[in-house]
């Protein structure tokens, strides 16, 4: 049981053992920076390499384990996450700053992901009966197409969803028989550690799962560089993703990237405006806008533009911003001082470029010292930087469109392609949008953020690379296909 007030001392998990490191770091509560959440061991390259070797040695054993064994391991992890969701949600809210209800929901979803992949291990993972038996074009020859695990996978994750993003990488990796080296973001070591602690008690062979906490430049890069790491799944910024892709592809590792977004929510004149405002508030500002699926461009048809902006402004005025653990809070702090400074700099850039300020964008003081800011709204032009670049904070802009066609063109006028939403009562426009928005996920009359755990997640263009995450499609990344011929 992890109590709210206690600060944790967290260590690496390498080859089935807990290890300290030569240096340590601390994570602080973004709602109250005087509170240390965890002191954590910071691994160096040598420890990362030891974890990779342990995973390499464990691979033959784990990859030949029975589907039942893998299912039991994953089911146990999922059950514990679900049973402890309130307690672990408290830790997540303290370390990352999302509100307690958001944090509890995230832990529950992580639990559901492990449970889903427990089923996948049985249903059709590598060696789990997911193959095909195909008639040969030659007489007397039988053909089998089977899936096998890829090998050692390096999993590198960001700070904004420290339970659910690791879960949707670790669970399919293990379900399909791969061994894992997991590197969480440095802002959220306690969340990474607690997940590893639960996994460490789930009867995996030593080395099949390893945790290494430390810097991206040293520990993350060690995973990217190592010839022993067969596949890398990375979620984070575009710039880091691109660097990782270049290095890893040069040594022919399999790579999956989930990177930024500049997601649009289109609001048509025939939409239920209250519903559209709800979608905008939830999608753009909840979790302090620190979601890759956040709606940062609100593209509104001219006929309802002013009414929509007025209603949204009214809603923003009423939102409660405060300590993530305080009851009734809508938005917690942003993750750290650097992100707060970046968000405020974006507000300055928007003003300088001539975007019209509608609401917010100021640093706020609360009873505790934290990284608080009011949600910001601007009216922008498509050429403004706030309409083009990812902000990753509670800042959105409204773009005016003359009609549906212009709204769709604006929606697709971006280097990103993660998700896009539309609020409309027109079946014709909803269907057209679903087909023509150049993204990985579409939403009709729903916020752009908020997805199910059993279906593919991911984007196109600058938002993603490689196969999708989550659901049955995860097998495309975590397995490799083998074709077997036999003369009967």
Question: By C-alpha distance, which of 126, 125, 123, 145 is closest to 134?
Answer: 145
Give yes or no for residue 220 binding ligand NAD (CB under 6 A): yes
Crossing angle, helix 164-175 and helix 67-83, to 10 degrees? Answer: 160
Q: Which is nearer to ligand NAD, 146 or 256 (CB)?
A: 256
Q: Which is nearer to ligand NAD, 175 or 185 (CB)?
A: 185
Q: Which residues pair with 457 in a beta bridge?
A: 469
Give yes or no for residue 95 binding ligand NAD (CB under 6 A): no
Site for ligand NAD (CB under 6 A): which residue of 155, 185, 397, 475?
185
Q: Which is nearer to ligand NAD, 175 or 292 (CB)?
A: 292
Give yes or no for residue 221 binding ligand NAD (CB under 6 A): yes
Q: Which is nearer to ligand NAD, 128 or 393 (CB)?
A: 393
Give yes or no for residue 229 binding ligand NAD (CB under 6 A): no
What's the longest Cα–Cα distance across the chain?
A: 79
Give yes or no for residue 370 binding ligand NAD (CB under 6 A): no
Site for ligand NAD (CB under 6 A): which residue of 92, 155, 276, 292?
292
Which part of the chain contacts ligand NAD (CB under 6 A), choosing from 65-73, 259-267, 379-387, 442-450? Answer: 259-267
CB contact set of 468 (below 8 Å; sequence gap of 6+): 440, 456, 457, 458, 474, 476
Is residue 2 within 8 A of residue 94, CB to CB? The reply is: no
Question: By C-alpha distance, which of 411, 400, 395, 292 is closest to 342?
Answer: 395
Q: Residue 40: phi, psi to the nearest 5?
A: -125, 150
- Concatenating the DSSP letter of every residue in 352-395 gives HHTPEEEE---EE--SS---EE--EEEE--TTSGGGTS---SSE
Is residue 325 within 8 A of residue 95, CB to CB? The reply is: no
Q: Which is nearer to ligand NAD, 177 or 466 (CB)?
A: 466
Q: Which is nearer to ligand NAD, 232 or 377 (CB)?
A: 232
Give yes or no for residue 15 binding ligand NAD (CB under 6 A): no
Cβ at position 42, least distance to ligand NAD in Å: 11
Give yes or no for residue 470 binding ligand NAD (CB under 6 A): no
Which part of the chain contacts ligand NAD (CB under 6 A), choosing from 88-96, 110-118, 125-133, 258-266? Answer: 258-266
Query: What does the per-residue mask of binding to ligand NAD show for 385-424, with x meaning CB under 6 A?
Result: -----x-x-------------------------x------
Which part of the chain contacts ligand NAD (CB under 6 A), choosing from 115-123, 181-189, 267-275, 346-354? Answer: 181-189
Q: Which residues pair with 376 in a beta bridge?
A: 395
Q: Which is nearer to ligand NAD, 338 or 362 (CB)?
A: 338
Q: Please, what is the end-to-end C-alpha distance for the chain in angstroms?
A: 58
Q: Is 258 a catalytic residue?
A: yes
Distance CA(279)–CA(354), nearest Å, equals 26
Catalytic option among 49, 258, 301, 476: 258
CB contact set of 88 (below 8 Å; sequence gap of 6+): 2, 81, 107, 163, 191, 194
Q: What is the DSSP letter of 410?
A: H
φ/ψ bin of 317: left (φ > 0), alpha (ψ from -120 to 50), beta (otherwise): alpha
Give yes or no for residue 160 binding ligand NAD (CB under 6 A): yes
Give yes or no for residue 158 binding ligand NAD (CB under 6 A): yes
Site for ligand NAD (CB under 6 A): which residue of 235, 282, 374, 414?
235
Which part of the chain contacts ligand NAD (CB under 6 A), choosing from 54-62, 118-126, 157-165, 354-362? Answer: 157-165
Residue with tokens 């944790």: 8
Give yes or no for residue 471 binding ligand NAD (CB under 6 A): no
The number of beta carbons lying within 10 Å of the beta carbon of residue 122 is 19
Catalytic residue IDs: 258
* Residue ranges binding ligand NAD (CB under 6 A): 156-160, 183, 185-186, 216-217, 220-221, 224, 235-237, 240, 243-244, 258-261, 292, 390, 392, 418, 463
């Amino acid at each position: 049981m992890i109590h709210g007030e206690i600060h944790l001392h967290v260590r690496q998990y390498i080859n089935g053992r807990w290890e300290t490191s030569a240096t340590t770091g601390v994570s602080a509560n973004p709602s109250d920076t005087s509170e240390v959440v965890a002191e954590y061991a910071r691994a160096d390259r040598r420890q990362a390499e030891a974890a990779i070797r342990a995973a390499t040695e464990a691979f033959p054993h784990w990859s030949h384990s029975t589907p039942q064994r893998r299912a039991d391991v994953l089911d146990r992890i999922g059950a514990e996450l679900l049973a402890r969701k309130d307690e672990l949600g408290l830790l997540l809210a303290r370390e990352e700053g999302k509100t307690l209800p958001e944090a509890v929901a995230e832990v529950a979803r992580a639990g559901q992901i492990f449970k889903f992949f427990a089923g996948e291990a049985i249903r059709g993972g590598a060696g789990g009966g997911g193959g095909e038996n195909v008639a040969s074009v030659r007489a007397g020859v039988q053909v089998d197409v089977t899936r096998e695990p890829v090998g050692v996978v390096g999993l590198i994750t960001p700070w904004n969803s420290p339970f659910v993003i690791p879960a949707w990488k670790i669970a399919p990796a293990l379900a399909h028989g791969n061994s894992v080296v997991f590197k969480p973001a440095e802002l959220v070591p306690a969340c990474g550690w607690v997940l590893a602690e639960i996994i460490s008690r789930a009867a995996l062979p030593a080395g099949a799962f390893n945790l290494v906490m430390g810097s991206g430049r040293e520990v993350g890069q060690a995973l990217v560089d190592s010839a022993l790491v067969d596949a890398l799944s990375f979620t984070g910024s575009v710039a880091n993703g691109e660097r990782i892709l270049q290095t890893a592809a040069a040594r022919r590792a399999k790579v999956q990237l989930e990177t930024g977004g500049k997601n649009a929510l289109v609001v048509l004149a025939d939409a239920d405006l209250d519903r559209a405002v709800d979608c905008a508030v939830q999608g753009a500002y909840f979790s302090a806008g620190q979601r890759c699926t956040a709606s940062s461009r609100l593209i509104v048809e001219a006929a309802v533009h002013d009414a929509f902006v007025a209603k949204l402004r009214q809603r923003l005025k009423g939102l409660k911003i405060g300590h993530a653990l305080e009851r009734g809070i809508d938005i917690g702090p942003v993750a750290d001082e650097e992100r707060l400074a970046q968000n405020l700099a974006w507000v300055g850039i928007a003003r300088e470029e001539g975007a019209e300020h509608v609401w917010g964008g100021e640093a706020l003081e609360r009873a505790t010292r934290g990284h608080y800011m009011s949600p910001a709204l601007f009216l922008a032009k498509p050429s403004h930087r706030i309409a083009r670049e990812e902000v990753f904070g509670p800042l959105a802009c409204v773009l005016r469109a003359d009609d549906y066609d212009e709204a769709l063109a604006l929606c697709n006028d971006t280097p990103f392609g993660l998700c896009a939403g539309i609020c409309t009562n027109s079946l014709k426009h909803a269907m057209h949008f679903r087909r023509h928005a150049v993204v990985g996920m579409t939403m009709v009359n729903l916020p752009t953020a908020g997805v199910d755990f059993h279906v593919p997640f991911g984007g196109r263009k600058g938002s993603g690379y490689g196969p999708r995450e989550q659901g049955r499609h995860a097998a495309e990344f975590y397995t490799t296909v083998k074709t077997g011929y036999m003369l009967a």
